[in-house]
Structure 1
Amino acid sequence: MEPIRLGIIGCGVIGSHHISEASKSPLADLIAVADVIEDRAKSMAEKFNVPTYYTNEDDMLNDDRIEAVVLAMPTGVRTPIAFKALEKKKHLIIEKPAASNSAEIEKMISMRGDLVVACCSPRNSLSAHGELARKCFDTGVLGKIRSVRVRAILSAPPNPSDNPPPWRESFKLNGGGILVNWSCYDLDYLMYITGWQLKPRVVLAKWWLVGEKMSAYVAPGSDADAHYTAFILCDDDIVLTMERGEFTSSTTDQAWEIIGTDGTLHMPMTSQQGKPNAVILDKFVPGQGVVSETIWKQGDPGPSSTILEDFVHAVREHREPRTNLERALVMQKITDAIYASSRTNQAVTIT
């Protein structure tokens, strides 16, 4: 397969991961990197033997050698660059969350044409445990689905970091806080495993700022959620419940589950200390009660991929990536509704 001729804009923490992966992949020919901080762009280019570096997005987008671009920076500055890249007819990998609101994603869809635009939210669904959980779900062993849920409450560590990133809990810079930072992963994971069958209709939610005693854990002026909870009614009598919190007063508690009439699937979207990193199927057996079966455990082989691999195959095979803009829009509408419900203290309908 012909390697993708790639440029990466953003050489910070997440950008460096993209650069490292692309520099090692036989599927990518990394042409250039860019960052507004010249020393950072130059350093990344030298470290990974990238032939060209730029200090602004316009120079990279005008480079005719480059057919696809990774946008690895906070949402607030990323979306205008995404619009520019689509105008320049570049395929795109967009970091998560895909945008700050549904209208921005809808504009990208209107501009996309035949280009491939991939979102980074399926990092965990592309894993072996995500693939095997989906395979188990598809057998119908769970029966009629009743509840799909995530609860990921993370305790505050003993001490805050020296320089909390200003974008982390900022509506202006990132479109929100923990909801957009992490729950795009939760939603993508659960949506993929359930075959994108969940059709959310009504959302009732609430979010909160970081607690006063934990204020040093976030940047000064942070105005977005450190903790939220949401109850989402979906078509076909299915309920989706979501809760996430960071820097909380609780001990860490994480669970991703799909509960049906006949069985329940427990998945480890991320590794959990003190809990088995395994996909567990519970099912009711007459005369035995609930019997548990391990579908996958950490270290087992299984099908897996990466955002970059999936993206290159999508471009070269003229197919959709794992999470395209239409799927990103479904998740963004849930996100928008959660914020709207919390703001108004009322249930919000998704159309």
Structure 2
Amino acid sequence: MNSLGIGVIGCGRIAQSHLKSVDAHKHARAVAVVDVIPERAEETAKRFQIPKVCRSLDELLSLPEVDAVIVCTPPAAHTAPTLAALSAGKHVLCEKPFALDVGEAEQMTEAAEKAGRWLSVCSARARCGAAARKARELILDGAIGTPYHIRSTAFRQRGRPGIDFWQDATWFQDKSQAGGGALMDLGVYQIDLMLWLLGNPKVKSVLATTFQGVGAPPPPGVRQDVEDHVTAMMVLDNGASAVLEQGWSTNMAGADSLMVWGSKAGLRFRPLTMISEPMVDGHLTETRLLDVDDHDSTGHGDVTTAFINAVIEGREPLTPAREALQITKVIDAIYRSAASGTAVAP
């Protein structure tokens, strides 16, 4: 395949980001869009000079020039268009989170494998930066010895979509539409990244808590039934452990970090630094590993570009369906553990 014709399903904010990447790619082109709000599809097509505005999903999927689709709908509307696209023989890049529940994720994964088409999920965004790629290379090459612990901590102070910003996107606060709060919106990236850095081990058990109630209450007419904060401790099948701390409304500053502990060396991100012997004046040596920002994706591209390149080259894209299914099982276990107050298995 020398080029890729792309259809976009859903023309909200995230679709605009995807389309910028498609527009910049030499071997891809956006050929059609569809949205439940026709005016939004029209505006998007005009902005990116997309030739076809479809009135239905079926119309878009019937177009022979559409080789792949990007599903940019809210989480509750991921499964139906993804299944339809796979059935129509299209490759799919699906926005995160993959699914509202494990059953949906299993259904989509099985459909992709049956259709023989690639299904990739956008929780892979965190894999695209220079630091993530370099760290994975070092870990898998044994440069830090045996990795035995990884921790991701990331806190927004007042960053609830639909309340603190993007006031028109209140679906983020509705569990039936979003599936959850800070975990589904942000923590999914970090779970994807942590497991990928360690070579995608299986998660054996999860112990978690969630909390909701930080910041101003939702405005009239908006109901928040999703979490502001999640903490999860995971035990992996290779004997290592992982900790996630994620919040989108917190009273904290300066705590964000991503760290990997190994038997020979450790890695600390922002900027990517190796901590290892020799000891100097009672402290281990710290070596900065990159001359660019951790998130720099030069020569690799963002999640959209990476998907396009993989499909054109006929290789597995980042966060393929099977890996996204495992992440969905971990998220499900986190919520079940938080509800029960006990450790559970994914």
**TM-score normalised to structure 1 length:** 0.90
Is 2:275 aligned against 1:282? yes
Which residue matches 1:323?
A: 319
1:256-304 Cα shifts (integer Å, max 9, x gaps): 1111222110123xxxxxxxxx101111325654110001143598653
Deviation at 1:102, TM superposition (A): 1.7
Instruction: Give 1:311 shift.
Output: 2.0
C-alpha spacing 1:139/1:264, structure 2 compared with 1 (3 Å): same
Shift of 1:237: 2.5
Distance (Å, rounded) in 2 between the aligned partners of 1:176 and 1:324: 22
Which residue in the other structure is 1:313 paired with?
Answer: 309
- Aligned residue in 2 for 1:242: 244
Alignment of 1:167-316 (within 5 A): 167-196=171-200, 198-211=201-214, 213-216=215-218, 220-268=222-270, 278-285=271-278, 289-299=283-293, 303-316=299-312
Residue 339 of structure 1 corresponds to which residue in structure 2?
335
Q: Does the 8 Å CA contact 2:130/2:293 hold for their aligned counterparts?
A: no
Give 1:102's aligned residue: 102
Counterpart in the other structure of 2:27 = 27
**Displacement of 1:58 after TM fit?**
2.2
Q: Is the 8 A contact 1:169 1:226 kept in 2?
A: no
Q: Distance in 2 between matches of 1:280 and 1:209?
A: 34
Which whole-Å deviations, capped at 9, do the CAs of 1:147-185 have from their partners, x for residues lacking one?
A: 11111122127x933715222232211111110111121
Identify the residue that residue 85 of structure 2 maps to in structure 1. Answer: 85
Q: What is the root-mean-square deviation of aligned Cα atoms in Å?
A: 2.2
**Residue 336 of structure 2: SS of its match in structure 1?**
helix
Tell me, yes or no, if the aligned pair for 2:173 and 2:223 is still in contact at 8 Å.
Answer: no
Q: Paired residue for 2:151, among 139, 149, 152? A: 149
Counterpart residue number, 2:2: 2
Conservation of the 8 A alpha-carbon contact between 2:139 and 2:198 = yes
2:79 and 2:126 map into 1 onto residues whose CA distance is 23
How much does 1:55 deviate?
A: 3.5
**In structure 1, the residue corresponding to 2:277 is in which secondary structure?**
strand
- Which has the higher mean CA deviation after the structures are superposed, 293-302 or 26-35? 293-302
Which one of 128, 133, 136 corresponds to residue 134 of structure 1? 136
Note if contact 1:116-1:314 (Cα within 8 Å) is conserved in structure 2: no
Q: Which residue of 1 aligns with 2:41?
A: 41
How far apart in 2 are the matches of 1:120 and 1:284? 37
String of CA shifts for 1:294-347, please: whole Å, max 9, x gaps: 011435986532323322333233321121001101111110000000111111
Tell me whether 1:161 sits opposite 2:165 in the alignment. Answer: yes
Amino acid at match of 1:199: K
User: For residue 280 of structure 1, what is the amino acid of its counterpart?
Assistant: T
The change in CA–CA distance for 1:218 and 1:82 in structure 2 (over 3 A counts) is: farther
Change (3 A) 1:162 1:68: closer
Structure 1 residues not aligned, in runs of 5+: 269-277
Match of 1:271 in 2: none
Structure 2 CA distance for aligned equivalents of residues 303 and 25 of structure 1: 12
Is the contact between residue 300 and residue 306 of structure 2 (CA under 8 Å) also seen in structure 1?
A: no
Q: Percent identity between the aligned chains?
A: 26
Q: Is the 8 A contact 1:35 1:41 kept in 2?
A: yes
Runs of 4+ in structure 1 over 4 Å off: 299-303
| Structure 2 CA distance for aligned equivalents of residues 104 and 304 of structure 1 | 30
Task: Tell me the amino acid that sits aligned with residue 175 of structure 1.
Answer: G
Q: Is the 8 A contact 1:232 1:239 kept in 2?
A: yes
- Cα distance in 1 between the residues matched to 2:280 and 2:169: 55
Number of equivalent positions = 338
Aligned AA (2:96): K
Cα distance in 2 for residues equivalent to 1:101 and 1:283: 41
Q: C-alpha separation between the residues in 1 aligned to 2:220 and 2:123? A: 23
Q: 1:303 to 1:218 in 2, by over 3 A?
A: farther
SS in 1 for 2:59: helix
Give the direction of change, closer, same or farther, for the CA distance of 1:218–1:17 in structure 2 (3 Å limit).
Answer: farther
d(CA) in 2 for partners of 1:252, 1:103: 38
User: 2: distance between equivalents of 1:160 and 1:17?
Assistant: 21
Question: For residues 3 and 305 of structure 1, what CA distance do their matches in structure 2 show?
Answer: 17
Give the drift of 1:5.
1.1
